[in-house]
Amino acid sequence: MMKRRLFLTLTAALAVTGLPAMAEQLSLNQVSSYLNGLQTAQGGFTQINADGTLSTGQIYIKRPGRIRFEYNAPDNSLVLAGGGQVAIFDPRSNNGPDRYPLNQTPLKIILERNVNLGAARMVTGHTSDGTTTTITAQDPENPQYGNIQMVFTANPVELRQWIVTDDVGSQTTVILNDMIAGGSIPEVKFNIQNEMNNWNK
Of residues 184 and 1, which shows the higher confidence score?
184
Of residues 64 and 23, which shows the higher confidence score?
64
Would you list the domain boundaries of the chain?
A: 2-199
Please give the C-alpha separations between residue 68 and each of 3, 75, 190, in angstroms, as whole numbers.
15, 15, 7
Pairing of the two strands 171-181 and 40-48: antiparallel
pLDDT digits (tens, 9 = 90+) for 12-28: 433 344 444 456 899 99
Give the pLDDT confidence score for residue 2 in this predicted structure: 45
Q: What is the rounded distance in angstroms from the CA atom of residue 84 to the CA atom of residue 197?
A: 19
Judge contact between 104 and 164, C-beta under 8 A.
no
Give the mean pLDDT of the chain. Answer: 86
- Range in 36-45, 54-63, 168-177, 185-194 the model is least confident about: 168-177
Judge contact between 148 and 162, C-beta under 8 A.
yes
Give the pLDDT confidence score for residue 159 in this predicted structure: 84
The model's pTM: 0.84
pLDDT surpassing 80 at residue 116:
yes
Give the pLDDT confidence score for residue 49 in this predicted structure: 82
pLDDT surpassing 70 at residue 154:
yes
Give the pLDDT confidence score for residue 17 in this predicted structure: 40
DSSP letters spanning the chain = -HHHHHHHT--EEE---S--S--PPPPHHHHHHHHHH--EEEEEEEEE-TTS-EEEEEEEEETTTEEEEEEPTTT--EEEEETTEEEEE-TT-SS--EEEEGGGSTTHHHHSSS--TTSTTTEEEEEE-SS-EEEEEE-TT-GGG-EEEEEEETTTTEEEEEEEE-TTS-EEEEEEEEEEESS---GGGG-HHHHHHHHT-
Fold (topology level) of 2-199: outer membrane lipoprotein receptor (LolB), chain A (2.50.20)
pLDDT digits (tens, 9 = 90+) for 120-150: 999 999 999 989 999 999 999 999 999 999 9
